Structure 1
Amino acid sequence: MIIETYSYPRAAVIGNPSDGYFGKTIAFVFSNFIARVQLYETPELEIRPERLDLVKFSGMKELADDVSYAGYYGGLRLLKASVKVFYEYCSKNGIPLDQRNFTIRYHSTIPLRLGLAGSSAIITACFKALKQFFGVKIAPEILANLVLSVEAGELGIAAGLQDRVAQAFEHPVFMDFNREHMESRGYGIYHPLDARCFPSFYIAYRKTLSEGTEVTHNNLRARFEFGDPEVLAAVARWGELTTSFMEAMKRKDFRAMHELMNENFDLRRKTIAISPGNTEMVELARSTGVSAKFTGSGGAIIGTYHDEEMFNHLREVMHAHQIDVIKPEIVTRQ
């Protein structure tokens, strides 16, 4: 029997990138793209490579193009580290695992290195497959921690919990990474949200702007730990914006949500260096009347629009600059 599991890209609505700094955020996952993992029993444990793991090319240009698109690492290291962390978690917690071996492989349609949490989606799908194969139950808040430990602990990728929480819950979530709660329990305070109270969202992305999340977080982490007043004030304000956004959702105050999302990016731009291409994409979107902010670390943006006329105008303007625009299909728990 082949076990097939899925996970989805994440869109950060408000509050990012404060999740790694005891802040607050709101995020959801959407099913326009997908990370798929297949696992089935075999005599030996094998991790199968995907297209992104190729080491044979027709020439140097193909190699250079591949690195520009996908970076230097494919998904094999994600699966290998996931299996290791899963095994160690079960061993540490006295969860018995039988001696069966398996073959595991992955495939992902999530655009790479655009701040859509494609790596953690592959890891989350891997954990789901391992859980099902061995009959292990892991609560979503713990699963999110394990996925983060794969990236941050095993692979040295600077990241926060937000993406992994949204992917573990597979539902829009308000996340409060309160320091006391985090230090005493190891995870934040998570509240599922009613997606019907969201405004109309679009997501736009330009593949040529890709860069890893570590580009943002490495600089911000150093400044946060140094106690940079500008960064500390920004993190506090991002938390306030998140709380205000949740209150606006309850009132269905779409204008307020529009303005809060814009402020989130404007504060980020003041606090963190942003590439001209990313700034141009945000300003281009805003020129059509929509709100715009990063979905993650850059390369993709999210915002609100009022009606179909505004959305169609946005798509036309962005398409002229080689920027794709989609309506996210928000995943919610049944």
Structure 2
Amino acid sequence: MIIETYSYPRAAVIGNPSDGYFGKTIAFVFSNFVAKVQLYQTPQLEIKPQRADKTTYNNLDELVDNINFAGYYGGMRLIKGIVKVFYEYCKRNNIKLASKNFTITYNSNIPLRLGLAGSSAILTACLKALCLFYEVYIEPAIFANLVLSVETNELGISAGLQDRVAQAYEKPVFMNFDKKIMEKEGYGKYEVLHNVHFPNFYIAFRKNLSEGTETVHNNLKARFDIKEAKVLQAMKRWAQITEEFKAALEKRDKQKMHELINENFDLRRNLIPVSQGNIEMVELARSVGASAKFTGSGGAIIGTYADEIMYNKLHDIMNNNEIEVIKPNIINNN
């Protein structure tokens, strides 16, 4: 029997990047792109390399194209990391695993290194497959922690819980990462947003702006750790913005949501260096009346638009600047 599992990109609606700094965020996953894992029983344990893991090339052009597509590391380290973390979790919790091996393959069409949580989607799909294969249930909050631990503890990548929580729950989630809650529970307080009426969202991205999340977070974390006043104030405001957005969402106050999304980005721009290409995407979106902020660490933006007339204007202006625009298919699994 072949086990096939899926996970999806994450869109940070509001509050990021405060998720790694005891803040609050709202995020959802969307099915326009997908990471897929296949796992089946075999005599030996094998992880099959994919395009991102190539080591042989026809020429220099192909090598450089592959690096631009997937970065320097590929996905093998992710799969190895999550298998190790799963095994150690089961061992710590006295969960006896059946004595059997597997072969695992993965692929993903999620645009990489654009702040869409493509790496954690691969990890999430893989952990789902392992749980099904060995018949182990892991509650979503712990599941998200395990996925994060691969990146932070095993691979040394600075990251927060937001992506992994949205991918573990596969529902829109309001997340409170208050320090006291985190220290007591080991994870945040997560509220699934049932029956919410989101405004019209778009997501836009330019693949040549890709950069790893660690590029942004490493410097920010250092500033947070030394308690730089400007950083602490920003984190506090992002948490407030998230609360205000949630209230506006419940009231269906689209104008307020529009304003808060813009404030979220403007606060970030005043705190962290933002490349001109990323600024251009935001300004192009705002020029037609849409709101705009990063979906994650940069390279992609999310915002709201009023109607189809505005969306068509947005699509045209972005297309003229070689920027892709989509309407996210928001997942809300029961």
TM-score range for the pair, normalised by the shorter chain length = over 0.9
Match of 1:106 in 2: 106
Which one-letter code corresponds to 1:191 in the other structure? E
Q: 1:316 Cα deviation (Å)?
A: 0.4
1:69 is the counterpart of 2:54: no
* Equivalent position SS for 2:121: helix
Q: Within 5 A, what are the aligned runs for 1:280-299?
A: 280-299=280-299
* 1:61 shift after superposition: 1.6
Deviation at 1:64, TM superposition (A): 1.3
- Quote how far apart the aligned CAs of 1:195 are: 5.5
- Verify the 8 A CA contact 1:172 1:195 in the aligned structure 2: no
Secondary structure at the residue paired with 2:125?
A: helix
Is the 8 Å Cα contact of residues 162 and 175 (structure 2) preserved in structure 1? Answer: yes
Partner of 2:89: 89
After superposition, the C-alpha distances for 1:127-153 in whole angstroms (9 at most, x for unaligned) are 000000000000000000000000111
The answer to whether the 8 Å contact 2:224/2:231 transfers is: yes
**C-alpha distance in 2, partners of 1:84/1:194?**
34
TM-score (norm 2): 0.99
Structure 1 counterpart of 2:261: 261
Map 1:14-25 → 2, pairs under 5 A: 14-25=14-25
Counterparts of 1:1-334 in structure 2, within 5 Å, are 1-194=1-194, 196-334=196-334
Q: d(CA) in 2 for partners of 1:315 and 1:10?
A: 21
Q: Distance in 1 between matches of 2:38 and 2:195?
A: 30
After superposition, what is the alpha-carbon deviation per residue over 1:165-201, rounded to whole angstroms, capped at 9, x for unaligned? 0000000000000100100110000001136421010
State the one-letter code of the partner of 1:213: T
Consecutive unaligned residues in structure 1, runs of 5 or more: none
In structure 2, C-alpha distance between the alignment counterparts of 1:26 and 1:113, rounded to whole Å: 20
Q: Contact (CA 8 Å) 1:32, 1:328: kept in 2 or not?
A: yes
How much has 1:69 moved relative to structure 2? 2.2
Post-superposition offset of 1:333: 1.8
- Aligned-residue offset at 1:58: 1.1
Q: Distance in 1 between matches of 2:195 and 2:47?
A: 37
Gaps of 5+ in 2: none
Q: Which amino acid is 1:297 matched to?
A: S
Instruction: Give the conservation status (yes or no) of the 8 Å contact 2:17–2:296.
Output: yes
Equivalent pair of 1:113/1:212 in contact (CA under 8 Å): yes
Cα distance, 1:314–1:190 mapped onto 2, change above 3 Å: same
Counterpart CA distance in 1 for 2:195 and 2:131 is 28
8 Å contact from structure 2 (residues 196, 250) kept in 1? no
Q: 1:54-83 CA deviation, whole Å, 9 max, x = no partner?
A: 111111121112112210011111001100
Q: State how far apart, in whole Å, the 2-side matches of 1:170 and 1:241 are.
A: 23
Of 131-140 and 196-205, the range deviating more from structure 2 = 196-205
For residues 248-274 of structure 1, the C-alpha deviation after alignment (integer angstroms, 9 at most, x for no partner) is 011000000000000000000000111
Give 3-state SS (helix, strand or coil) of 2:297's partner: coil
State how far apart, in whole Å, the 1-side matches of 2:239 and 2:316 are.
Answer: 34
Q: Matched residues in 1 for 2:333 and 2:6: separation?
A: 14
Q: In structure 2, how many angstroms separate the alpha carbons of the residues matched to 1:195 and 1:108?
A: 30
Letter of the structure 2 residue corresponding to residue 120 of structure 1: S
Is this contact kept in 2: 1:5–1:129, CA < 8 A?
A: yes
Give me the whole-angstrom Cα distance separating, in 2, the residues matched to 1:108 and 1:249: 32
Q: Which amino acid letter does the alignment assign opposite residue 80 of structure 1?
A: K
RMSD, matched Cα: 0.7
Contact residue 290 and residue 305 of structure 2 kept, 8 A:
yes
- Mean Cα deviation higher: 29-38 or 52-61: 52-61
Alignment coverage as a number of residue pairs: 334
- Report the TM-score, using the length of structure 1 for normalisation: 0.99
What amino acid is the match of 2:53? D
Q: Which one-letter code corresponds to 1:316 in the other structure?
A: D
Moved more, 240-249 or 56-65: 56-65
